[in-house]
């Protein structure tokens, strides 16, 4: 991360590269030029002037993953036509691994590397180039030297005539048009670039420039309302953490009918659809995502697990506290959204209920502790399949629920004089930047904020599969889970289905439900119940409404075209038993505590 560079410069210490000590400030930059001669073909052409430090051979590589999106992505598969010259001479380029290239320099002080990158993946970690605009990320674009040194990387962009503006959190180089400097490779990877004709708005908080950017189909986006509301979210974030940690910040959204968002140190890149600001539900979802990515400017981009820096961009980086990095960030997305005044109290309770419901209805919560779900993110979180809910727990909602319970714990133990906000501020002061925290250090700083030892509580909620206990938090805030009338519950089998061109196909079978116990399989086609055909367009629920919980039925399925019958004893649909509501007889004290949480007092 950039902080590594700051230390390198501040103490004039040295960094070690392949056994050779190199003074960080002496390093010459790699200078890239980006060109788009035919953007409609989805290519960006990259030219890189790379210093060789006098070596006869250098090795360059492309990152295989992007921090914040924990899966090896193999970006190098989109790189083509890699050539090099040393002065006027051609320099030999040899591919040395899937994502590395060796270049013979002939002793030249620098070589010029040229390549093209096919850019047509509309995700927040990859690239997209088309006639109207380009969206570029560092990891899938820039080949860099195999070294650990904090070397500056400069980027100059040659704009096609129809594109007027470049938006990025990278620092502009003064006096050089369309040229930016990343202090090191981490900063380059951490700074997406949008080029085209984006709609922008700006505001200032604490003298710091905040830029709202929309590119894509922006005609229906209400950028003025977004800017006004985002400023309130920034104010709320500052109130939680004490100060704004960045020099400036870009909120960048592609309006491209896609989804996803990714945090960066001084910006975020997200994707949405053209109707994002047209209905309250869609707008709330848009702002919730924005607030989540924005809170990452503190939690994970600066206050981070010790394992997340310096990054190894070519291999998995294992970490057990993504439930803090992502889950606590999810909790604070709701907090910032509410305290900005945009979200109502009912919507805030709905937000908390959704997090709790996601945890409590996943059978895998009883199989995998959340710290191990974090550790295995590289093989599970980003590669879910039909059995994922049965064997693993999502660290986003479980981490958010742990944050909610912890916040109540700290408030209760300190009579409301401190909160999770205090703990996060203290953690930020002690472990941000170069340091990073271990799980034990995080538990300790939160215990200190609470004034009681929470180590065994953390071990229970984060390192075991024990059920979470909501009693204390609900009692503290005067909340309860809305009672569900089980007597009138409809019959259910507990599996998910989809209508596949008139065929009713099973999409999920959750452990502990009648569908699981009876041997229903994912991809089975449900043909009939008690020998009467089930029509996909009418749906399974309509047929099950003809039965009661406890009834035994025979489901005919086609499995790989073979007909078979399964005996199923119907269960009672549990409905939605995890919806929070204020106690009908909540005390004034309890109500005041809930207000303190939702209003930040």
d(CA 59, CA 229): 47
Q: Of 185 and 295, which CB lies nearer to Zn ion in the complex structure?
A: 295
Window 450-509: residues binding Zn ion (CB under 5 A): none
538 C-beta neighbours (distance < 10 Å), count = 12
Q: Which of 142, 121, 119, 108 is nearest to 38 (CA)?
A: 119
HSE-up of residue 386 (Cα within 13 Å, Cβ side): 15
What dihedral do alpha carbons 170, 174, 175, 179 form, nearest 10°? -10
Instruction: Tell the smallest beta-carbon distance from residue 299 to Zn ion (Å).
Output: 9
Q: Report residue 300: phi and psi, to 5°.
A: 115, -40
Q: Of 326 and 376, which CB lies nearer to Zn ion in the complex structure?
A: 326
Q: Of 76 and 326, which CB lies nearer to Zn ion in the complex structure?
A: 326
Instruction: Tell the smallest beta-carbon distance from residue 304 to Zn ion (Å).
Output: 12
Q: Of 329 and 497, which CB lies nearer to Zn ion in the complex structure?
A: 329
| Contact mark string toward Zn ion, 269..308, x via CB under 5 A | ----------------------------------------
Q: Which distant-in-sequence residues (6+ apart) come within 8 Å of 521 by Cβ?
A: 506, 509, 557, 559
Straight-line distance from the first to the last Cα atom of the chain, in angstroms, rounded to the nearest whole number:
34
Q: Of 215 and 326, which CB lies nearer to Zn ion in the complex structure?
A: 326
Q: Of 163 and 404, which CB lies nearer to Zn ion in the complex structure?
A: 404
DSSP bridge pairs for 15: 22
Phi-psi region of 43 (alpha: psi -120 to 50; beta: other; left: phi over 0): beta
**Residue at token pair 């064997």:** 391
| Contact mark string toward Zn ion, 308..347, x via CB under 5 A | ------------------x---------------------
**Residue at token pair 């899937």:** 98
* Max Cα distance, the chain (Å): 84
Instruction: Tell the smallest beta-carbon distance from residue 326 to Zn ion (Å).
Output: 5
Q: Of 71 and 572, which CB lies nearer to Zn ion in the complex structure?
A: 71
Instruction: Tell the smallest beta-carbon distance from residue 332 to Zn ion (Å).
Output: 10
Q: Of 301 and 579, which CB lies nearer to Zn ion in the complex structure?
A: 301
DSSP labels for 290-330? HHHHHHTTTBTTTB-BTTSSS--TTS----S-HIIIIIIHH
Q: Of 395 and 578, which CB lies nearer to Zn ion in the complex structure?
A: 395
d(CA 594, CA 477): 5
Q: Which of 50, 54, 44, 57 is nearest to 31 (CA)?
A: 50
Instruction: Tell the smallest beta-carbon distance from residue 136 to Zn ion (Å).
Output: 21
Instruction: Tell the smallest beta-carbon distance from residue 212 to Zn ion (Å).
Output: 19
Q: How far is CA 427 from CA 61, 438, 592, in A?
A: 35, 11, 27
Window 190-249: residues binding Zn ion (CB under 5 A): none
Q: Of 326 and 357, which CB lies nearer to Zn ion in the complex structure?
A: 326
The two tokens of residue 119 are: 């850019």
Instruction: Tell the smallest beta-carbon distance from residue 322 to Zn ion (Å).
Output: 9
Instruction: Tell the smallest beta-carbon distance from residue 421 to Zn ion (Å).
Output: 19
Q: Of 121 and 326, which CB lies nearer to Zn ion in the complex structure?
A: 326
How many helices (H) and strands (E) the chain has is answered by 17, 33
The two tokens of residue 81 are: 């036509």
Instruction: Tell the smallest beta-carbon distance from residue 69 to Zn ion (Å).
Output: 9
Q: Of 69 and 515, which CB lies nearer to Zn ion in the complex structure?
A: 69
Q: Which of 37, 54, 57, 55 is nearest to 45 (CA)?
A: 37
Contacts 24+ apart (CB under 8 A), 410-416: 410/446, 410/449, 410/450, 411/476, 411/593, 411/596, 411/597, 412/472, 412/476, 413/450, 413/451, 413/452, 414/449, 414/450, 414/451, 416/593, 416/596
Instruction: Tell the smallest beta-carbon distance from residue 252 to Zn ion (Å).
Output: 15
| C-beta nearest to Zn ion: residue | 326
Instruction: Tell the smallest beta-carbon distance from residue 376 to Zn ion (Å).
Output: 17
462 C-beta neighbours (distance < 10 Å), count = 24
Q: For Zn ion, how many residues bind (rule: CB under 5 A)?
A: 1
Instruction: Tell the smallest beta-carbon distance from residue 461 to Zn ion (Å).
Output: 20
Binding site for Zn ion (CB under 5 A): 326
């Amino acid at each position: 991360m950039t902080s590594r560079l700051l230390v390198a410069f501040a103490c004039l210490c040295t960094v070690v590269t392949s056994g050779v000590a190199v003074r960080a400030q002496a390093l010459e930059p790699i200078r890239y030029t980006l060109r788009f001669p035919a953007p409609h073909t989805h290519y960006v052409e990259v030219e890189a002037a790379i210093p060789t430090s006098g070596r006869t051979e250098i090795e360059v590589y492309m990152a295989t993953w992007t921090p914040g999106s924990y899966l090896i992505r193999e970006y190098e598969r989109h790189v083509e036509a890699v050539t090099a010259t040393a002065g006027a001479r051609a320099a030999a380029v040899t591919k040395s691994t899937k994502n590395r290239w060796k270049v013979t320099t002939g002793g030249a002080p620098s070589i010029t590397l040229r390549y093209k990158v096919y850019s047509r993946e509309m995700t927040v970690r990859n690239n997209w180039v088309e006639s109207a605009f380009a969206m570029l990320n560092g990891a899938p674009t820039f080949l860099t030297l195999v070294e650990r040194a904090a070397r500056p990387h400069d980027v100059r962009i040659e704009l096609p005539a129809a594109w007027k503006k470049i938006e990025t959190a990278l620092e502009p180089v003064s006096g050089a048009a369309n040229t930016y400097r990343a202090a090191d490779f981490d900063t380059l990877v951490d700074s997406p670039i949008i080029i085209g004709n984006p709609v922008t708005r700006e505001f200032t908080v604490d003298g710091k420039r905040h830029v709202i950017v929309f590119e894509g189909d922006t005609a229906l986006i209400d950028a003025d309302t977004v800017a006004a509301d985002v400023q309130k979210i920034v104010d709320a974030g500052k109130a939680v953490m004490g100060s704004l940690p960045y020099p400036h910040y870009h909120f960048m959204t592609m309006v491209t009918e896609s989804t996803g968002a990714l945090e960066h140190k001084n910006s975020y890149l997200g994707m949405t659809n053209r109707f994002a600001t047209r209905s309250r539900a869609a707008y709330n979802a848009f702002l919730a995502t924005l607030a989540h990515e924005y809170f990452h400017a503190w939690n994970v981009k600066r206050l981070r697990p010790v394992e997340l820096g310096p990054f190894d961009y070519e291999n998995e980086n294992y970490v057990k506290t993504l439930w803090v990095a992502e889950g606590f960030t999810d909790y604070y997305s709701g907090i910032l959204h509410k305290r900005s005044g945009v979200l109502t109290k009912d919507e805030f309770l709905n937000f908390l209920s959704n997090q709790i419901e996601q945890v409590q209805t996943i059978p895998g919560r009883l199989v995998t502790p959340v710290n191990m779900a974090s550790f295995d993110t590289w093989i599970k979180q980003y590669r879910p399949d039909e059995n994922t809910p049965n064997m693993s727990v999502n660290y986003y909602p479980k981490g958010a629920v742990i944050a909610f319970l912890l916040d109540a714990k700290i408030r209760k133990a300190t009579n409301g004089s401190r909160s999770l906000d205090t703990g996060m501020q203290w953690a930020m002061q002690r472990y941000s930047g170069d340091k990073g925290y271990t799980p034990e250090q995080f538990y300790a700083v939160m215990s200190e904020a609470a004034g009681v030892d929470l180590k065994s509580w953390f071990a229970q909620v984060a390192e075991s599969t024990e059920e979470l206990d909501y009693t204390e938090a609900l009692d503290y805030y005067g909340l309860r889970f809305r009672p569900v009338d089980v007597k009138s519950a409809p019959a259910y089998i507990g599996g998910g289905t989809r209508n596949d061109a008139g065929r009713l196909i099973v999409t999920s079978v959750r452990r502990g439900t009648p569908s699981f116990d009876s041997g229903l399989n994912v991809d089975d086609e449900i043909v009939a119940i008690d020998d009467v055909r089930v029509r996909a367009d009418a749906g399974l629920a309509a047929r099950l409404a003809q039965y009661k919980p406890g009834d035994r039925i025979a489901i005919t399925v086609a499995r790989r075209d073979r007909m078979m019958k399964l005996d199923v004893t119907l269960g009672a649909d549990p409905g939605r038993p995890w919806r929070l509501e204020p106690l009908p007889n909540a005390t004034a004290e309890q109500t005041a505590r809930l207000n303190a949480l939702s209003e930040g007092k």
